[in-house]
Amino acid sequence: VFGLSSVAQVVLGRQNFGQHLNINLGFGIGVTLGIHAAGGISGAHLNAAITITHCILGNLPWIKLPAYLIGQFLGSFTAAATVFGIYYDALYDYCKGNFTVTGPTATASIFSTYPAPYMSLPGSFFTEFLATVMLLLGILIIHDEKNNRALRGTEALLTGILVLGIGIGMGMNTGYAINPSRDLPPRIFTAIAGWGTDVFTAGHHWWWIPIIAPTLGSLTGVFIHKIFIDFHNLPVTGCGNEKGQTAVEVS
């Protein structure tokens, strides 16, 4: 709701009520609050790509995957419906009731991501892939018990800042979906709510990239962290003095 409504305000307000940074902040705040809301209950699986990665790594039983995916789908779909209701009058005023995916009064991008007109499919795929690699690397570093992890209690805030950073640096090409659960359910909602099947054909049938690229990027991010960081960390019980001394020297 925070993320999509921030996009709606920027687009429908014709950038008189915010700029691109507002969208990045909206999604960062939404992620932070989502982690606080669901972290103690379910681990705050807000991203299907990360949930699938946990199943592949054996950190989450496969039998739980459908429940997590359904929860993510319903949350994102309901968020799209909520924002649609909040900005229903503004949508009609903006496009005179003609809901379009492309063109000067396009509004489908309020709810789901679409590539910029200059983007090729390979370029779009690589952008989403790399952005999700950075997302996973950031999350793993924040929670790395054997490394210089974040202070306890700050993980949600730092993850929100991480999403903010990805949006600031990698949002121009494709809108940084980096999450199948964030992109597909609102896309389905827009198909039902009046935008039609164009939401699946626009951008050279772009819709599948925010599903596949983040999933592969998530797995790759875990692999990179394992190879270049985790395997080189000393066990927690055996490195207290050394790392403590390093911390003192840096201070």
- The pLDDT of residue 237 is 55
Identify the pLDDT of residue 233.
Answer: 83
**207 touches 199 (CB < 8 A):** yes
pLDDT, tens digit (0-9, with 9 covering 90-100), for 54-90: 999 999 999 999 999 999 999 999 999 999 999 999 9
pLDDT at 117 over 90: yes
**Tokens representing 44?**
């705050």
Neighbours of 121 (CB within 10 A): 14
- 1-231: in CATH 1.10.8.60: no
pLDDT at residue number 148: 87
Q: How far apart are CA 150 and CA 22, in angstroms?
A: 26
Instruction: Indicate the residue type of 193.
Output: A
Q: What is the arithmetic mean of pLDDT over 188-204?
A: 96
Place of tokens 């690699």: 133
Q: Give residue 234's pLDDT band: very low, low, confident or very high (50, 70, 90).
A: confident
Question: Which tokens is 207 given?
Answer: 């819709």
